[in-house]
């Protein structure tokens, strides 16, 4: 099946004239049509727009004007990234019917690279969740076992890539929302350094933590996608004005001499034994590839969860104040005044997890509590960052599990505090602003994927990708396909 090709291979076939963008897009749309009822990965499919973009790509290529490796390749977009002219809901009822007038910068850059955008992918409401179950449109399902979660919040992106509905996808990651679903679906997900990719047009959850990034089936594919996404943006003052290196140039340099940090704090109790075994196997694999394992300590790790949930919810309570029933989104009917319009529109439009986080964040910022909660958490955040600064004086990457557990059954998470614990390994990376990547490192006996997380130095996505690629070259899980018959 042509959709079993990796993104890089599909690009190669397009370049060689062995297939066309129209052919790839037709096959992808057919597979979405056949499987999406079971997976609920796509919330919206733009077949006409995709076929039009494919025809334009083929015409460009025919004129000898192909733009690069993404030209003509079908991709999916997480539905919290604005797509001009195509409904964008962020998984929320409050944005049902919202048609953005502009593209997010990340989306615009993919279009400019010639990519074919198939449609919009499911997510937890406003990217708040780790199982996709807070989506107002029902959860996406894991292609490896459709009774289980694909993870969250970029669960639709992960499910679509794993099920070969598209060659790659955009996700966003505030506390692990790219890496955890990548781990649970056997795909590769990269959260770049905060500031590496523009957030313009990303529906904001927690602005000091949010970052847009690629998800695909291989490390190389993520490198190709990041190449198109990275760089400064006049629309986002926090998108860093730094040179963007060639992410594929050093990709094959191997692991010889690589110093891999192993943080004791990430290998404690509470981890699924099969996950731990797979990740410890990956550590041995790195040694065999010539890397050195170095024990490192990140002593403030145990405070990351509390720090994150105070800061992320505080920022969310502020960001989501814009949903007021006036300029866009759901508006309550038959209200008596402006205050009732705000309160009723918001209460009808937001789901329970979003309300819970707005409530917590509002409390953390409210008079009399700001110093004890928000300011304290911002100080602890500095200590978490210093832990990594110290670690990166000794090592090049830090390796850990991505998620303490493999994909769990849908409907199992009922206690918010318990479900927040699922993000325990991914949150510190966001708090420190570091780039992090999840890649597959094995399966459980029940044939569920296990992922490991590599965290790299600030702005060193090139080194992070090369470290991941070294493992992937020796232990390639990207050919393993989930048991779905189209």
Partner 1 sequence: MALTPEQVAHVAALARLELSPDEAALYRAQLSAVLDAASLLDEVDVSGVQPTRGDAPVPPLRPDVERPSLSPEQVLGNAPAKVGTTFSVPKILE
Catalytic residues: 78, 153, 177
Give how far Cα 373 sits from Cα of 208, 307, 365, Å.
17, 9, 8
Distance CA 237, CA 147 (A): 42
Single residue of 382, 389, 447, 474 touching partner 1 by CB under 8 A = 382
Distance CA 162, CA 181 (A): 10
* Closer residue to partner 1 in complex, CB, 47/343: 343
Contact 128, 134 (CB under 8 A): yes
Min dist CB 317 to partner 1, Å, is 6
Min dist CB 167 to partner 1, Å, is 30
Per rule CB under 8 A, is residue 192 in the interface with partner 1? no
* Closer residue to partner 1 in complex, CB, 224/422: 422
Spatial strand order in the sheet of 259-263: 42-45, 116-121, 74-78, 168-173, 211-216, 188-191, 436-443, 449-456, 397-401, 259-263, 292-296
Q: How many CB atoms lie within 10 A of CB 415?
A: 8
Single residue of 379, 389, 390, 409 touching partner 1 by CB under 8 A = 379
Burial string for 222-237 (b: 16+ CB within 10 Å, else e) reads bbbbbbbbbbbbeebe
Between 117 and 136, how does the x/- string for binding to partner 1 read (CB under 8 A)? Answer: --------------------
Considering only residues 196 through 215, tell me which ones interact with partner 1, judged by CB under 8 A: 208
Single residue of 305, 480, 481, 484 touching partner 1 by CB under 8 A = 305
* Closer residue to partner 1 in complex, CB, 157/345: 345
Per rule CB under 8 A, is residue 83 in the interface with partner 1? no
In the block, tokens 């403030």 appear at: 300
* Closer residue to partner 1 in complex, CB, 6/89: 89
Per rule CB under 8 A, is residue 358 in the interface with partner 1? yes
Distance CA 176, CA 153 (A): 8
Single residue of 376, 473, 480, 486 touching partner 1 by CB under 8 A = 376
What element of type H or E holds 343?
helix 338-349
Per rule CB under 8 A, is residue 93 in the interface with partner 1? no
* Closer residue to partner 1 in complex, CB, 38/379: 379
Considering only residues 466 through 485, tell me which ones interact with partner 1, judged by CB under 8 A: none
Distance CA 403, CA 438 (A): 10
Per rule CB under 8 A, is residue 293 in the interface with partner 1? no
Q: Taking Cα atoms as reference points, which of 76, 87, 88, 85 lies closest to residue 25?
A: 76
Distance CA 171, CA 139 (A): 16
Considering only residues 139 through 168, tell me which ones interact with partner 1, judged by CB under 8 A: none
**Chain-centroid distance, C-alpha 184:** 12
* Closer residue to partner 1 in complex, CB, 235/292: 235
* Closer residue to partner 1 in complex, CB, 16/243: 243
Min dist CB 330 to partner 1, Å, is 7
Give how far Cα 141 sits from Cα of 154, 172, 190, 407, Å.
12, 18, 21, 10
Candidate ranges 166-174, 180-188, 370-378, 475-483; the one touching partner 1 (CB under 8 A): 370-378
Distance CA 164, CA 155 (A): 14
Please give the structure tokens belonging to residue 369: 């509590």
Single residue of 175, 195, 449, 463 touching partner 1 by CB under 8 A = 195
Min dist CB 99 to partner 1, Å, is 6
Query: Helix, strand, coil % (nearest 5) of the chain?
Result: 40, 15, 45
Considering only residues 226 through 265, tell me which ones interact with partner 1, judged by CB under 8 A: 232, 234, 237-242
Contact 279, 461 (CB under 8 A): no
* Closer residue to partner 1 in complex, CB, 137/350: 350
Single residue of 96, 366, 394, 412 touching partner 1 by CB under 8 A = 366
* Closer residue to partner 1 in complex, CB, 16/234: 234
138 Rama class: left (phi>0) / alpha (psi -120 to 50) / beta: left
Considering only residues 421 through 440, tell me which ones interact with partner 1, judged by CB under 8 A: 431, 433
Q: Radius of gyration over alpha carbons of the chain, in Å?
A: 21
Q: Taking Cα atoms as reference points, which of 168, 189, 4, 146 lies closest to residue 77?
A: 168
Candidate ranges 163-171, 247-255, 279-287, 302-310; the one touching partner 1 (CB under 8 A): 302-310
Distance CA 442, CA 301 (A): 25
Candidate ranges 35-43, 272-280, 345-353, 402-410; the one touching partner 1 (CB under 8 A): 345-353
Per rule CB under 8 A, is residue 390 in the interface with partner 1? no
Single residue of 383, 390, 446, 474 touching partner 1 by CB under 8 A = 383
Q: Binding-site residue total for partner 1 (CB under 8 A)?
A: 72
Q: Taking Cα atoms as reference points, which of 107, 221, 223 lies closest to residue 161?
A: 221
Single residue of 66, 70, 310, 465 touching partner 1 by CB under 8 A = 310
């Amino acid at each position: 099946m042509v959709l079993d090709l990796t993104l890089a291979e599909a690009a190669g076939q397009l370049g060689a004239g062995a297939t066309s963008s129209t052919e790839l897009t037709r096959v992808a749309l057919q597979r979405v049509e056949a499987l999406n009822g079971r997976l609920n990965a796509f919330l919206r499919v733009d077949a006409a727009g995709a076929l039009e973009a494919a025809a334009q790509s083929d015409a460009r290529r025919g004129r000898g004007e192909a733009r690069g490796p993404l030209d003509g390749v079908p991709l999916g977009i997480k539905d919290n990234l604005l797509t001009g002219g195509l409904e964008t809901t962020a998984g929320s009822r409050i944005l049902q019917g919202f048609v953005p007038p502009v593209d997010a910068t990340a989306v615009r850059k993919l279009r400019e690279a010639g990519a074919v955008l198939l449609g919009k992918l499911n997510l937890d409401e406003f990217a708040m969740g780790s199982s996709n179950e807070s989506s107002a449109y029902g959860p996406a399902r894991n292609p490896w076992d459709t009774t289980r979660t694909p993870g969250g919040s970029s669960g639709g992106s992960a499910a679509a890539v794993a099920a070969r509905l598209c060659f790659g996808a955009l996700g966003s990651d505030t506390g692990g929302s790219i890496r955890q679903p990548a781990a649970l679906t056997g795909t590769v997900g990269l959260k770049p350094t905060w500031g590496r990719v523009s957030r313009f047009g990303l529906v904001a959850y927690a602005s000091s933590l949010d970052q847009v990034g690629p998800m695909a089936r291989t490390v190389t594919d993520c490198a190709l996608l990041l190449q198109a996404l990275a760089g400064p943006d006049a629309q986002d003052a926090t998108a860093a004005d730094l040179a963007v290196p060639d992410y594929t140039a050093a990709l094959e340099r191997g692991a010889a001499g690589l110093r891999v940090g192993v943080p004791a704090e990430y290998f404690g109790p509470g981890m699924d034994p099969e996950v731990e075994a797979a990740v410890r196997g990956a550590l041995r694999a790195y040694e065999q590839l010539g890397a050195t394992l170095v024990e490192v300590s990140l002593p403030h790790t145990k405070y990351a969860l509390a720090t994150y949930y105070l800061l992320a919810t505080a920022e969310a309570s502020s960001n989501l104040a814009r949903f007021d029933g006036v300029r866009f989104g759901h508006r309550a009917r038959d209200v008596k005044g402006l205050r009732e319009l705000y309160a009723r529109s918001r209460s009808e439009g937001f789901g329970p997890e979003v309300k819970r986080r707005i409530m917590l964040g509002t409390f953390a910022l409210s008079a009399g509590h700001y110093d004890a909660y928000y300011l304290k958490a911002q100080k602890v955040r500095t200590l978490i960052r210093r832990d990594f600064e110290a670690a990166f004086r000794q090592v090049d990457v830090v390796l850990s599990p991505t998620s303490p557990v493999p994909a769990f059954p849908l409907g199992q998470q009922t206690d918010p505090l318990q479900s927040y614990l699922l993000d325990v390994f991914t949150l510190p990376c966001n708090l420190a602003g570091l780039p992090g990547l999840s890649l597959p490192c094995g399966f459980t006996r029940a044939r569920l994927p296990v992922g490991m997380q590599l965290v790299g130095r600030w702005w060193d996505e090139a080194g992070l990708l090369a470290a991941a690629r070294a493992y992937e070259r020796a232990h390639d899980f990207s050919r393993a396909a989930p048991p779905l018959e189209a």
